[in-house]
Amino acid sequence: MHEIISHRRARGATLPVHMAKSVRKTKRFTDKTFNAWEFKVHPPGTLQLARTDLSQETADKKTADKELEALQEKLYELQVRYWMERRRAVFVFEGWDAAGKGGAIKRLTALMDPRGYKVWPIAAPGEEERSHHYLWRFATRMPPRGTIAVFDRSWYGRVLVERVEGFASHHEWQRAYDEINGFEKMHTDDGVTFVKFFLHVDPKTQLERFKERERDPIKNFKIGPDDWRNRKRWDEYLSAYQDMFDRTHRPDAPWVIVPANDKRQARLRVLRTALNALDD
């Protein structure tokens, strides 16, 4: 419309009064608009799984367990503060199968008041969820004021399993990075504390845990054909993880790679990081 108007004016055409007023009031929104989003993402390669040291082991288990208990008590105190101050927090857990996400979440929430947090275990979307945009089911699970939400897997499935296994088209998972950044920034701009954990193990450790799960009658429900199939595509997942870090590791919602070959060290790292984030 602006090009047409300019062209008519150049030829001496006169606009009706009501159109002239409309044109004067029109504002064009561009990337320079004051409230436009600019996703400040850390430089590509800032986080790399290949550079993660997985060799650290717990030397003194009793000392580590005492520190864990002390961290849990402090996290409960911060949870109460968040409730009183009507603040919100989101912790996202992603990582390799059998990396220990569930165990880390269990220790994170061990002493928290269950009225003040919610753990969301994320599986494949149901029929109703598939009828909406893929972020819809996560938007409805974001924490009310004064509470904390913990996601055991998350919206990053769009650029991970859905990408690698072909459940999302190339266009769908490519555009998802900006959609995810926008979704998260919408909440961090609204005051939500946001931390995303990635639990990392090597293939050997994962294989040992897979076999342990198969032998354990209590844990064997955790292992299935999908886990073994995903393991065969290790390199494809590595590539997807790296793209995820490069495109969505932001100062307002950072990724934290957690070395998880040693479960105690992983849990301590998660609790320390969560404590620092909540206490900021």
Domain positions in the chain are 2-278
CATH superfamily for 2-278 is P-loop containing nucleotide triphosphate hydrolases (3.40.50.300)
CB 219 within 8 A of CB 161: no
pTM of the model as a whole: 0.86
Alpha helix stretches (DSSP H) within 60-159: 61-85, 101-108, 127-130, 136-139
Residue 33 pLDDT grade (very low, low, confident, very high; cuts 50, 70, 90): low
Q: Which amino acid is at 243?
A: D
CA torsion angle 159 163 168 172 (round to 10) = 50
pLDDT value, residue 262: 97
Give the Å distances, CA to CA, from 254 to 41, 57, 180, 251, 257: 9, 25, 13, 5, 10
Instruction: Say if residue 50's pLDDT is above 50.
Output: yes
pLDDT value, residue 2: 38
Residue 32 pLDDT grade (very low, low, confident, very high; cuts 50, 70, 90): low
The distance of Cα 246 from the centroid of its chain, to the nearest Å, equals 13
